[in-house]
Structure 1
Amino acid sequence: MNRWLLSAAAISLLTTGIHVLAGGPDVHDPLLAIDMPPVLKVYVSLLWHATSAVLAINSVALLWASISRRYREALTGAVVAQYLAYAGLFIGYGLAYVGTLWQTPQWAVFLLISALALVGLRSAPSDLSRLAA
């Protein structure tokens, strides 16, 4: 078992829980309370729940990568790419719209998870490097 990837999976799962349990009342519900056309409310909810699904799937992918070498590089690479994209979006939009990163601190957890996952990849022998040897 790769403990770095397991740690990344645990933090990803914790992030998923925070998104669902705390983010719902703090972000999703207030957005739905705004007077807007019903179709926009549908999109707000779809995007909210799609994010929940991606976070949960990524958590499972990191957990699987931590215990199985077969797809470790592919699973970890896909999750890291997504989480680095999320971090970049939080940084970019935080700076562009509110002028600070402190109101959009989610970037930090996505960078942390990505860093742990990348260390996990480097700490275990690569399937490709074993084939080349």
Structure 2
Amino acid sequence: MNSFFKQNNMWLLAAALLSFATTALHVVGGTPEIMSPLNASNAPELSKGIAEVMWNQITLLLIVGGWVFWRAARTSKAPTELSLTIIALYSGITILFIASGINLFASVWVMPQWTLFLAMVLLAIVGLYRKGTAA
């Protein structure tokens, strides 16, 4: 077990695990809270369809983001650029949640999902820094 910790970047592994956990929260907790009421509403079918695609895009992004961070944590051959791309995407999502929260609700806490995305960004940044300095 000790060699596992020595051979892997724990910061990037933490970002990966948090991305996978956020996927589970998104699907298990978010679907009944967000998608089920939307699908039961009188919203236009096109709006429901687009929301469904967007919902599933976030699911896919979280899975791919977790996989990229996992690969970066487990091997030095994983391109840093892929991790930076996920960091940029997760940073953008953080900003969107904060801006929308302030703009729509005058509070960042109505939609606190930004905290998970920010945590993943910070863990991954530290992990990439450690990966670069450890080489």
Q: TM-score, normalised by structure 2?
A: 0.90
Unaligned runs of 5+ in 1: none
Q: Distance in 2 between matches of 1:125 and 1:51?
A: 29
Quick check: 1:66–1:72 contact (8 Å CA) kept in 2? no
How many residues of Structure 1 are paired with residues of Structure 2 in the alignment? Answer: 128
Look up the match of 2:19.
Answer: 12
Is residue 2:77 matched to residue 1:66?
no
Is residue 2:63 matched to residue 1:56?
yes
Look up the match of 1:27.
Answer: 34
2:51 to 44, 54, 66: 44
Kindly state the Cα deviation for residue 9 of structure 1 after the two structures are TM-superposed.
0.4
Unaligned runs of 5+ in 2: 1-7
Q: Distance in 1 between matches of 2:122 and 2:79?
A: 15
Taking every aligned residue pair, what percent have the same amino acid on both sides?
30
Q: Distance in 1 between matches of 2:132 and 2:18?
A: 23
Look up the match of 2:100.
Answer: 93
**Structure 1 runs, 4 residues or longer, greater than 4 Å off:** none
Q: TM-score, normalised by structure 1?
A: 0.91
Q: Distance in 2 between matches of 1:93 and 1:3?
A: 32
Matched residue type, 1:33: A
